[in-house]
Amino acid sequence: MTERSRNLAVVMAFLALVFVAQMVQPVSGAQEQADKGPSSQADEGVKLTKGLDCSSCHAIDRKVVGPAYSEIAKKYAGQADAPDKLAKSVRDGGSGTWGAIAMIPHPDLKEDQLQAIVKWILSLKNVDTAPASASTKTYDYTLKDGKKVTLDFPLLVEGKGDKVPKDVFKGYELYNSYCFRCHGQDVTESELAPDLRLSMNAGASMQDFLTVAMAGREAKGMPSWAGFLTEDEVKSIYKYVKGRSLELVPVGRPPSETD
């Protein structure tokens, strides 16, 4: 091989390496987003939404604390500025559009993340709202003073004395892990926060309880538990607190159906 041939071979090999390196070089974030198809972008919106505290207050087809995603999509359908409006709401929080309950702000989200979340929400405009539960089953209990009370959930396990169901026992565990610091051990009196038994006896519903727990009451020092406790966990706490207010669930560890 001549000197000229060797030099040409070296140059060709170098160019081949450069070409391969360019082919495997990571694309920029913007280019990666641009290359995504509609399905990938929707998946990104779902992933981001599930990773935040959104599911504590919203569901796709029913109201939790805030409106269903499908209702939001229907309200803003066809509005050219809807993505920017909703992105601002997610980032800054606030209240007024859907009632007085303030939405928790998310100031750390980047613009592309906000847009992915909003795009997914707006894609749900054709999802039907789930019908209200048709269950009418009730549970009757006799209190210590002889009065009768009717609940729409079981507080005690039928045929097992004073044993509580699994979800009520879970409520006991959660309450005495987190809530007791302000509201008193075993839902008793406390100087730091209101006695929740009084709230129950004043007629606080499960929805009222869920709303306060998830949204918090910043002016009164009540934190938001959205993103830390799930909807079902807060409902379990409510059931336990309700049982304590009626004195059907004792102080201390209640006997459980799993004992």
Crossing angle of the two packed helices 166-174 and 231-245, in degrees rounded to 10 = 90
The residue range of the domain holding 104 is 36-122
Question: Domain total for the chain?
Answer: 2
Residue by residue, DSSP assigns 191-220 as SSS--HHHHHHTT--HHHHHHHHHH-BGGG
Rounded to whole angstroms, how far apart are CA atoms 235 and 168?
A: 9
Looking up residue 224, the CATH number of its domain turns out to be 1.10.760.10
- The answer to whether residue 130 is domain-embedded is no
Contact between 91 and 105 under an 8 Å Cβ cutoff? The reply is: yes
Percentage of the residues of the chain whose pLDDT score is greater than 70: 82
Q: Are residues 151 and 205 in the same domain?
A: yes
3-class SS at 72?
Answer: helix
- Give CA 105 to chain center in angstroms: 14
Decide: residue 49, CB within 10 A, 0-12 exposed, 13-18 middle, 19+ buried.
buried
CA angle in degrees (0–180, nearest 5) for 52-54-56: 110
Residue after which a domain boundary falls, among 95, 122, 149 = 122
- Helix %, strand %, coil % of the chain (to 5): 50, 5, 45
Q: Are residues 200 and 234 in the same domain?
A: yes
DSSP state of 109: -
- The answer to whether residue 27 is domain-embedded is no
Please give the structure tokens belonging to residue 148. Answer: 């009768």
Q: Are residues 152 and 106 in the same domain?
A: no
**What are the two backbone dihedrals, phi and then psi, of residue 148, each rounded to the nearest 5 degrees?**
-100, 145
Rounded to whole angstroms, how far apart are CA atoms 179 and 24?
A: 53
Least Cα distance to 101 among 219, 215, 225 occurs for: 215
- The answer to whether residue 194 is domain-embedded is yes
pLDDT, position 189: 82
What integer best gives the mean pLDDT of the chain?
83
Range of weakest confidence among 8-17, 110-119, 241-250: 8-17
Give the tens place of pLDDT for each residue, 141-190: 999 999 999 999 999 999 888 999 999 999 999 999 999 999 999 999 88
Q: Model pTM greater than 0.85? A: no
Rounded to whole angstroms, how far apart are CA atoms 60 and 123?
A: 11
Residue after which a domain boundary falls, among 122, 150, 177 = 122
Residue after which a domain boundary falls, among 122, 155, 176 = 122
Q: Is the pLDDT of residue 4 over 60?
A: no
Q: Are residues 153 and 225 in the same domain?
A: yes
- The answer to whether residue 205 is domain-embedded is yes
